[in-house]
Amino acid sequence: MRDPAKFLSDEYAQLVAAQADWKLHVLAGPSQPWCTVDGRKVLMFCSNNYLGLSNHPKLKAAAESAVRTHGVGSGSVRSIAGTMDLHLELERRLAAFKQAEASLVYQSGFATNAGLIPQLVGDGDLVVSDELNHGSIIDGVRLSRAERAVYKHADVADLARVLETAEGHAPAYRRILVITDGVFSMDGDVAPLDRIAEVAHRHGAMVYVDDAHGEGVLGPGGRGIVAHFGLGRDRVHVEMGTFSKAFGVVGGHISGSRALVDFAFNKSRTWLLSGSHPPPVAAACLAAVDVLEGEPEHVERLWTLTRRFKKEMGALGFDLGVSTTPITPVMVGENARARRLSDRLLELGVFALPIVYPMVAPGKARIRTIMNAALTDDDVGFAIDAFAKAGRELGLV
């Protein structure tokens, strides 16, 4: 009898043959500049822990205190018995930090996009999406029953073309939603959100920005891309983010109008039907907001190190793509070559993983580095020296 599940091993074998499979590395201990990975001490150079907060003493103390006062779990989904005072305080503080009327915390960034987008649009609507948007946006759009259009990456003129075409659609669309990443996670470039918002406003479209990689990085005090461009909530209607990157913990969230939040928690099934954050997680997220508000030096340090790394790597002759943020891709080309560079860097003591097809287009494989404010000047110099040595050996520079 034919094995109906044979495709599982067959397709995995194809990934291995194409060197497009993921090989998991094990981190023993906290995510910090020098980590133990697969039993070796190496310099962490690819985590999303931009500000080094995942091991910050204030966050750890807050988590420990919450275990003593609130236990280790909430016991329910938030819509029934799982909303704790910690959750409400986190949303209040986050809204104040984001300078928004209200915020809502989801279980993860992926759950935010997958749960909210299908409720914002449906039959008779149109979603207009940047061609390089994150997979969680793509899946959220697919879950909706809305029609879809894609505009060229960060190309506001092409967005305008799509929206002008949409105006002639018969019957008229009920609503139009423009969605973009804030910082694009593979290339490190920033969406021209000010111009996107202006074009969308002219055509009566809502704007949704996924700012997962902009929080703690862009804007005054790391408040994100909406603050970076000084935009009002009448132009950017949904600002989505995550606690798993610069905030150093885990979870997704949205900020915007009170009406948005009331709508979202009544309609998003990922929010309604998933257990709420354990108390120590919510408390650590709260402490992260405290640190961002009270210790601006972390954001400043992040940018100081970023500028140095880009300057010195560029001077060596590496192709750093179009990045303007602490995400700095070192462009390599083919999957196998990117893997060889990553393996050699690991031998030299730097942990930086390859990003290969299908995560990026064929021929666009790269080592994606992400700067961390907790690194020392010597750490950054160590990484640059390792890249220089490995790059020369592989003929990249």
Q: Is 307 in the same domain as 327? A: yes
Catalytic residue among 74, 185, 255, 276: 185
- Please check whether residues 285 and 306 belong to one and the same domain: no
Does 275 map to a domain?
A: yes
Q: Is residue 253 annotated as a catalytic residue, yes or no?
A: no
Residue 245 catalytic? yes
Domain boundary among 294, 322, 337: 294
Distances (CA, A) of 379 to 188, 235, 273, 300, 384: 21, 41, 44, 17, 9
Q: Which residues contact 231 (CB under 8 A, 6 or more apart)?
A: 193, 194, 197
Helix or strand (DSSP H, E) at 297:
helix 297-316
Domain shared by 305 and 174, yes or no: no
Domain shared by 91 and 134, yes or no: yes
Instruction: Write the CB contacts of 135 (distance below 8 Å, at least 6 apart in sequence).
Output: none
Q: Which of residues 294, 319, 354 is at a domain's end?
A: 294
> Positive or negative CA dihedral for 302, 307, 312, 314?
positive
What are the pLDDT digits (tens) for 18-55?
777 878 899 999 999 999 999 999 999 999 999 999 99
Give the tokens for residue 226.
Answer: 């909406």
Partners of 77 in beta bridges? 275
What helix, strand, coil percent values describe the chain, rounded to 5? 45, 15, 40
* Last residue of one domain, picked from the residues 272, 294, 316: 294
Distance CA 199, CA 240 (A): 20
CATH number, position 233? 3.40.640.10
Query: Which member of 56, 213, 228, 277 is catalytic?
Result: 213
Task: Please confirm, yes or no, whether 185 is among the known catalytic residues.
Answer: yes
The reported pLDDT for the residue numbered 75 is 95
Could you tell me how many residues make up the chain? Answer: 397
> Domains in the chain: how many in total?
2
Q: Please state, rounded to an integer, the average pLDDT across all residues of the chain.
A: 96
The per-residue pLDDT for range 126-145, each reduced to its tens digit, is 999 999 999 999 999 999 99
**Domain with 302 in it:** 11-44+296-393
Considering the candidates 245, 253, 277, 364, report the single residue annotated as catalytic: 245
pLDDT at 69: 98
Residue 235 has pLDDT above 90, yes or no: yes
pTM for this model (two decimals): 0.95
Residue 340 to residue 45: CA distance in whole angstroms:
16
